[in-house]
Structure 1
Amino acid sequence: MEIGGTIISSVEYNGKMSLVIFMAKCPLRCPYCHNSELLDNGEKTTLEEIYKTIDDSSDFIDAVVVSGGEPLVHSEELINILMHSKSLNLKTKVDTSGYYPKRLNEVLKYTDYIAIDIKVPFDKYKDIIGADVGNNVKKSMKMTSSNTNTFLECRTTYVPTLLNHDDIKQISHEIDCDLYTLQQFRSKSVLDDRLEDVESPNPNELKSLAREIKPFLNKVKIKTSEFGEEYI
């Protein structure tokens, strides 16, 4: 198993203090990926070392979040990490692209919170992301949404030149989740260098767009570097 490190965070699980484990490797190559150093490899580690990190942190955390990369590349190890966390009465969250619906189904019983990246409208994955996996992501979303024991957040990074307002409106009609998060694109670290000169969308633009789509969704928030998280 390979990881990209761990951090302690107060924002990755609805304000709960959490240990975040970044697992390496991902089957996608999103142009705006900000963790591109984790796409192919990371630091080799063992489950025992991960368990020790969780145990050492357990007195001052409420949750364990497994992110990436794509955690479900390592689905067996992921299940073991989630089971160990639950044995310590910690909440669990998994961040995923939705690429592996069958694997996701296997981890749902050990997961309190799933965040799925809805990168583009389902019918545009091949054109914009370069992988025809829109149906996989839709299956992952529907499967998680139907699981009443798991909170589902869908989230989209709004990247000017790749997405427009109509795309976000289309997504808002296609998704079914407890919370939809519209995230501000930042060009500081991207996989495709053609995006390095693309300006971040203005927070007011995102707020206005979020207000337009709110009638079709349960809860909506925006996430920007200027103002952090704001519920609309």
Structure 2
Amino acid sequence: MGEKLRVGGFTPFTAIDYPGALAAVVFCQGCPWRCRYCHNTDLLPAKAPSAYDWEQILGFLASRQGLLDAVVFSGGEPTAQNALETAVIQVRALGFKVGLHTAGVYPRKLDRLIPSLDWVGLDIKALPENYAAITGVEGSGKAPWQCAELLARSDTPLQVRLTRHPVLTSDTELEQIRHKLQELGIPHLEVQRCNSEKALDQTLKFLS
């Protein structure tokens, strides 16, 4: 048997995580970045113990056929796990649409997944050269913009969003990001306010 998806959290019902659909959300364990405003810090360690078993979640989803429309894989960073592709296939076999929340960390993995995805929420954090100031990882800005290009060329319904803290994203950079996305053919950027109360970097609470 192959590697099972490591699950750090599960929401059995939501009306807000997949546009226009009733969905369940699977929070995948592990992320290679340490974004300063991350508020799901329990999901960051790749091998953290979990009370959730993927096979049990599949059983639950099977019992919700006809009641739920979709399953969304979130995180953490779902594409960090090789088991995600198999999990997506299993969910589709149950008749659900599949959504993905991703920060665009692994373009090649995303490229393989795109044909099996019905909707993607892509987080764009900064211009490529400014990513490390948020993620803590040098060179992290190239991959997300590659993913934006891949998704712009696909027919997959897409929402691109940016979490904004005023210290991390200036008005000028925000407009530059919008322009860069428009050049790719992505007309809209959803800007969401940073909730710094549970942020990984607690100094953000005192900066404005």
Unaligned runs of 5+ residues in structure 2 are none
Partner of 1:2: 6
- Aligned partners of 1:147, 1:154: CA distance in 2, in Å? 14
Cα distance per residue 1:71-97 (max 9 Å; x no partner): 01113x211222122223221111111
Q: TM-score, normalized by length of structure 2? A: 0.88
Q: CA deviation at 1:47?
A: 3.8
1:63 correspondence with 2:70: yes
Match of 1:183 among 192, 195, 201: 192
The answer to whether the 8 A contact 1:151-1:178 is kept is: no
The answer to whether the 8 A contact 2:9-2:52 is kept is: no
Give matches, 1:127-142, under 5 Å.
127-131=133-137, 132-142=139-149
**What amino acid does structure 2 have at the position aligned with 1:68?**
G
Judging by fraction of residues, say which structure has more strand: 1
- Aligned partners of 1:178, 1:114: CA distance in 2, in Å? 15
Give runs of ≥4 in structure 1 deviating > 6 Å: none
The answer to whether the 8 A contact 1:152-1:178 is kept is: no
Partner of 1:36: 41
Relative contact order, higher structure (CA 8 A, sep 6+) = 2
**What amino acid does structure 1 have at the position aligned with 2:63?**
D
Q: CA deviation at 1:24?
A: 0.8
Partner of 1:193: 202
Question: How many residues are treated as equivalent by the alignment?
Answer: 197
Unaligned runs of 5+ residues in structure 1 are 200-232
The answer to whether the 8 A contact 2:7-2:54 is kept is: no
Indicate the RMSD between aligned Cα atoms, in angstroms.
Answer: 1.7
Q: TM-score, normalized by length of structure 1? A: 0.79
- SS of the counterpart of 2:63? helix
- Aligned partners of 2:76, 2:49: CA distance in 1, in Å? 10
Identity %: 29
